[in-house]
Amino acid sequence: MTATPTSIPDVLVIEPTVFGDDRGWFFESFNEKDFSAAVGKSVSFVQDNHSSSKKGVLRGLHYQMEQTQGKLVRVCHGAVFDIAVDLRRSSLTFGKWMGVELSAENKKQLWVPPGFAHGFLVLSETAEFLYKTTDYWHAGSEKCIVWNDETLNIQWPNLGMRPVLNPKDAAGLTWNDAPKF
């Protein structure tokens, strides 16, 4: 596997080694030893999540203030534009966002450390999204930053349709009002 820092150095694009043969392909989707070596410290996960969404669905930008979650995210069907926003006040990239296309085809994964808001926009007809988290869901401290916040000015791909959001996300906080770390 390779791990490549993004414009936010703590956020890494992970690319697995894919072994193809005349039957198809195989890759290790997670290896704790290799992943911890790439991140530079031991990282363990306690929860796996799996969601399916139709084209134009935008989930996010989510984070939780307690039991803050690191997330290792990937797509096993379709494609999404995945976003991470740095909420760590002491970070040189505080308030910065980064985006990358994750797809079943490119098999890329994104490591989003604790301290970030995370979300994605579905680019394909449907997308299945898998991710591991370093702490458990804590519904009581969940926060959402609204997808089109003017301060963050995230450059989402233009699908020619308004994103499909649930009411919670549509009513998300502005960057200025959102609690930070």
Any idea which residues carry the catalytic annotation? 62, 131
Closest distance of CB 164 from ligand T46, Å: 11
Q: Are 121 and 57 in contact (CB under 8 A)?
A: yes
Rg (CA), the chain: 16
Q: Could you say whether residue 108 binds ligand T46 (CB under 6 A)?
A: no
- Dihedral of the alpha carbons of 123, 127, 130, 134, in degrees to the nearest 10: 40
Stretch that binds ligand T46, among 25-33, 95-103, 115-123, 149-157 (CB under 6 A): 115-123
Residue 141 as a binder of ligand T46 (CB under 6 A): the answer is no
Binding ligand T46 (rule: CB under 6 A), the pick from 8, 14, 58, 62 is 62
**Nearer CB in complex with ligand T46: 19/168:** 168
Which residues ranging from 31 to 60 are in contact with ligand T46 (CB under 6 A)? Answer: 49, 51, 59-60
CB 97 within 8 A of CB 87: no
Contacts of 171 by beta carbon, 8 Å cutoff, 6+ apart: 144, 146
Say if residues 61 and 121 touch (Cβ distance below 8 Å).
no
- Which residues of this chain interact with ligand T46, rule CB under 6 A? 49, 51, 59-60, 62, 71, 118-120, 137, 166
